[in-house]
Structure 1
Amino acid sequence: MDFYKIYQNKKILVTGATGFKGAWLCLWLHILGAKVFAIGYSPNKNKNLFYSLNLHKKIKINILDIRDKKKLTLYVYKIKPQFIFHLAAQPLILEGYKEPYKTYEINTLGTLNILEISRKSKFVRSLICVTSDKCYESNSSTTGFKETDRLGGVDPYSGSKAAAEIIIKTYIESFQKKQKILGIASARAGNVMGGGDKSQNRLIPDIVNSLYKKNKIFIRNPNFNRPWQHVIDPLYGYLILGANLYKDPKKYSGAWNFGTEKNTVTSVLTIVRYAIKNWGWGEVTIKKQKQFYEQTNLQLNIEKTKKILKWKPKYKIKDSVKLTIEWYKKVLNKTTTAEEITKKQILDYMK
């Protein structure tokens, strides 16, 4: 698509680059011919994906803590990016219960630092802060959460994402409208899957680990429904949004949902069964354990994004699971490299 050309030779900063979505985005931007700069954090269980994609040889990576405003400012002003994709976060609900203070600090203060640095700069043109579909307060909606729905959260992770959204909105309302150069947007996506995710207590990595070791797959909430999608779909949306922000910051600043189509939420048990079918073997059992609060049903309303950005998810849930399992099977069995299959899946999507 023509909008891809806007990224050629542009300086782009990706925070959270050593994370799952961050690594996929960095490779995609590199394929598009962008000058990619990356911020990562250590320790990070997903950093192996970043290095297995050979991104450390393709782009410049700086390991630093986004909570450190001084170091972050120095780095951003050194590279002077025109685009910033802010993905750095503490992304896990269970980790939020274990480390609530850390979760709030990373997800709110880190976002605030990025916003403040971008606001004061004269070079950042397009800033996308990636949050989560968990930022909405549960309202038992059957039509899906709209961008204008009330923010909230019962657990620390969800609360931290809602707080980040409030901070983002205040910057848009207070400063962005007075600046004609900088566009600020938040991107809210749901549960993603794809090759290379190694986060703990996340469904797909747990499934693959069990299948590869020929162990039973244990699941704790078989009937929980989620708007599952392949990681490529929301990333495609971020790229469209980033390009539009660059061209017309006033029009495209604000909140955007990148979810699935209506009535496509899928249960955990169904995902497991799809994975087993594509792997060719597997057993599943329900494991009762201490329950933390998680929303039973989640669905984003993507009508605004479809109408204005002309974005919609391309892959159905069966396609997403198939692509994900294919990635793991080939990489784990060493029939291809992580870099080769990730690049192929991105190029196939672009076609």
Structure 2
Amino acid sequence: MGKRPFLESLGEITMDSPLKNQNVLVTGGCGLVGAHVVERLLALGAKVFVLDILLKPKSYFETRKLREKSELILQDVRDLAKFKEVVFKNGISHIFHLAAQALVPLAYKEPELTLDTNIMGTVNVLEAARENSKVEAVVVASSDKAYGKDCRDAREDQPLMGGHPYDVSKSAADLITTAYYETYNLPVVVSRFANIFGPGDLNFDRIVPGIMKAVIKNETLEIRSDGKFVRDYLYVKDVADGYVLLAEKIGQTKGQAFNFSAGYNYNVLDLIEEAEKAIGRKCGYKILNSQKNEILFQSLNYEKAAKVLNWQAKYGLEEGIKDTYDWYQGYFK
């Protein structure tokens, strides 16, 4: 598949951010996206609290020494009483809810865990915010998969029709979040990002970490699909900027959903080829064709984010892949 011409960012996040000196909570803050959001918030001068169930050795959160600059709370978001205590005790003003069971293969094996974590975990975050008038904004991570199978240049007003456990968990959490705005006027906003990649992704079943591991360790990459499924890829630092903008502009964004995409659509085999070009190394692979229930084509329209938030991806695929490869070289040393 092709790609649109790379465009420079339409705007930058102001350094005099409304998040400066605010008590900000990031759930799932030790994960791929969460760690980059934490890093961005710290750079803006926020006081950051991180809630997660696990901190993996050599993770991006660890290697960037984010633990030393934030307050880490090892706790499950599904425990409502304890989560409320975190929000109230620490005077939290902004919540970025990224904690989730995010692995699609695991969702097939453990649907109850996935639905409980992704749906009821979100409800707990919203309930804690509803009962605390100090909370000024809640940014909830949904997914392009919330749209279901009909996800070609999807727009925010398109129906949410997830068809499998992970997809449904995101569709439901997305709708519940909007319901809290409609019912309680809670200042919430939903993010729907394309396939995210970048330094720090330790889920090696995903395609980009899988490529990096196979190349660096001289292994054969196993492709679960037929290699023809198309995805819309977005670099994690652009994702972090998008999250921050949603919170900074909550007056304009509350009650809404926003798509984020770089406009680069590739099937698996084409992505491998682009990665090989970017890093100058070959990736051996084997097509298993064992995954039958994946969405065939996913791409998002991000005109709304460009117009309302003045957001556009700053990283091209090649630059993002190179930065990602550099990080994994250090990880596998």
1:211 matched to 2:215? The reply is yes
| Aligned counterpart, 1:259 | 261
Q: Retained in 2: the 8 A contact 1:214–1:282?
A: no
Distance in 1 (alpha carbons) for counterparts of 2:21 and 2:104: 37
CA deviation vs aligned residue, 1:145-182 (integer Å, no higher than 9, x gap)? 11111111121000000010111111111111xxxxx5
| Aligned counterpart, 1:173 | 182
**Cα distance change of structure 1 residues 2 and 309 upon mapping to structure 2, 3 Å threshold:** closer
Aligned residues: 320
1:277 matched to 2:277? The reply is yes
| Aligned counterpart, 1:341 | none
1:237, distance to aligned residue in structure 2 (A)? 1.0
Q: Retained in 2: the 8 A contact 1:225–1:267?
A: yes
1:1-351 to 2 correspondence within 5 Å? 1=12, 3-5=14-16, 6-42=18-54, 48-139=59-150, 141=152, 144-176=153-185, 182-221=186-225, 222-245=227-250, 248=251, 252-261=254-263, 264-330=264-330, 332=332
CA deviation vs aligned residue, 1:259-301 (integer Å, no higher than 9, x gap)? 223xx31121122122223333223233215324111110111
Q: Retained in 1: the 8 A contact 2:13–2:245?
A: no
CA deviation vs aligned residue, 1:161-216 (integer Å, no higher than 9, x gap)? 0010111111111111xxxxx52101000111111111131111111111121122
* Alignment RMSD: 1.8
Q: Residue type matched to 2:280 in 1? A: G
1:116, distance to aligned residue in structure 2 (A)? 1.0
The alignment partner of 1:57 has SS state of: coil
Q: Retained in 2: the 8 A contact 1:83–1:242?
A: yes
Question: Sequence identity of aligned pairs in percent?
Answer: 33
**Cα distance change of structure 1 residues 140 and 234 upon mapping to structure 2, 3 Å threshold:** closer
1:140, distance to aligned residue in structure 2 (A)? 6.1
**Cα distance change of structure 1 residues 47 and 147 upon mapping to structure 2, 3 Å threshold:** farther
Distance in 2 (alpha carbons) for counterparts of 1:284 and 1:40: 35
Distance in 2 (alpha carbons) for counterparts of 1:325 and 1:90: 25
CA deviation vs aligned residue, 1:288-323 (integer Å, no higher than 9, x gap)? 153241111101111111111111112222222222
Distance in 2 (alpha carbons) for counterparts of 1:45 and 1:57: 15
Distance in 2 (alpha carbons) for counterparts of 1:327 and 1:228: 18
The alignment partner of 1:75 has SS state of: helix
1:220, distance to aligned residue in structure 2 (A)? 2.9
1:218, distance to aligned residue in structure 2 (A)? 2.7
**Is there any run of 5+ residues in structure 1 with no aligned partner, and where?**
177-181, 334-351
Distance in 2 (alpha carbons) for counterparts of 1:140 and 1:280: 32
**Cα distance change of structure 1 residues 256 and 283 upon mapping to structure 2, 3 Å threshold:** closer
CA deviation vs aligned residue, 1:22-59 (integer Å, no higher than 9, x gap)? 111111211221100110113x6587332222122111
Q: Retained in 2: the 8 A contact 1:225–1:266?
A: yes
Q: Residue type matched to 1:254 in 2? A: Q
Distance in 1 (alpha carbons) for counterparts of 2:58 and 2:160: 31
Give the structure-2-normalised TM-score: 0.91
**Cα distance change of structure 1 residues 32 and 113 upon mapping to structure 2, 3 Å threshold:** same
**Which region of structure 1 is more displaced relative to structure 2, 279-288 or 190-199?**
279-288
Q: Residue type matched to 1:35 in 2? A: K
Task: Kindly indicate whether structure 1 or structure 2 has the higher relative contact order, using CA contacts under 8 Å at least 6 residues apart.
Answer: 2
**Which region of structure 1 is more displaced relative to structure 2, 290-299 or 93-102?**
290-299
1:124, distance to aligned residue in structure 2 (A)? 0.5
Give the structure-1-normalised TM-score: 0.86
| Aligned counterpart, 2:4 | none
Distance in 2 (alpha carbons) for counterparts of 1:60 and 1:140: 38
